[in-house]
Amino acid sequence: MIHVENFYKSYRDTVAVEDLSFALAPGEILGLAGPNGAGKTSTMRCIAGIIPPTRGSVSVAGHDIVRDAIAAKSRIAYVPDDPKLFDTLTVWEHLEFVAAAYRVPSWQAKGEALLQRFELTPKQTVVAQELSRGMRQKVAICCAYLHEPAAILFDEPHVGLDPRGIRTMKDSILERANAGACVIVSSHLLELVEDMCTHLLILHKGRSLYFGRMSEARNAFAELGGDASLEEIFFHATEGDTGQP
């Protein structure tokens, strides 16, 4: 579903991502972990078609994100870490806009169900500028789900959400994956990644330190022992130790 091959991204002299390759099949959930500045957001933005790759190829649902951008984008949803909604549109109008832009037929019932699930029904006539951080995050998630995307990209999706919101978000991600969507979750919350993801990609200074199934990560870092947590694996991979003071 998502194919990333020899992907490079640089900003002038700074290399953000270097020679990254991975592939994800439908139903798989990839946890993208890495310290600040590792290249996670650059990778997500390139897959979403927001910025072009400097080199290499990225394709989603068989469509190249550069050459066949519109077809690829119609199969993708991207939820940024701090969603900036349209200030003057209401919650419901955001869904209307997304439905119109993605040409979703008969979307109203689906929209209502999404708002109900994310506890936004009472807020549907409220304009975005009056919403709290968590509410905005929920609206962005509802918008992302509305057009039934084949690939969903979440950048720090838990930020601003209350415990109930985090639970709903996690459940919804698992449901989407079970329904055949391919999901990438970038997060510093390693417990969330470990709990939810089928695959793991650890990035550090733009390079891939590990990509594979979550269950195989412990084997890849066998020196830590068979019962190492993801946190220990992460610190070992990125800092060469177990993260203990």
Among 39, 49, 160, 165, binds another protein (CB under 8 A): 49
Q: Is 96 among the residues that bind another protein (CB under 8 A)? A: yes
Eight-state DSSP code of residue 197: -
Contact window for another protein (CB under 8 A) among 53-61, 99-107, 183-191, 214-222 = 99-107
Site membership for another protein, residue 74 (CB under 8 A): yes
> Least Å distance between CB 131 and another protein?
12
Q: Could you tell me which stretch among 113-121, 122-130, 165-173, 229-237 binds another protein (CB under 8 A)?
A: 122-130
The Cα 21–Cα 201 span in angstroms is 10
CB nearer another protein, residue 123 or residue 199: 123
The secondary element (H helix, E strand) that includes residue 111 is helix 108-117
Give the whole-angstrom CA distance, residue 73 versus residue 207: 26
User: In terms of Cα–Cα distance, which of 55, 67, 69, 56 is closest to 5?
Assistant: 56
The residues, any chain, with a CB within 8 Å of residue 204's CB and separated by 6 or more, are: 34, 35, 38, 237, 238
Where on the chain is the footprint of another protein (CB under 8 A)?
11, 41-42, 45, 48-51, 70-71, 73-74, 76, 78, 80, 84-90, 93, 96-97, 100-103, 125-127, 129-130
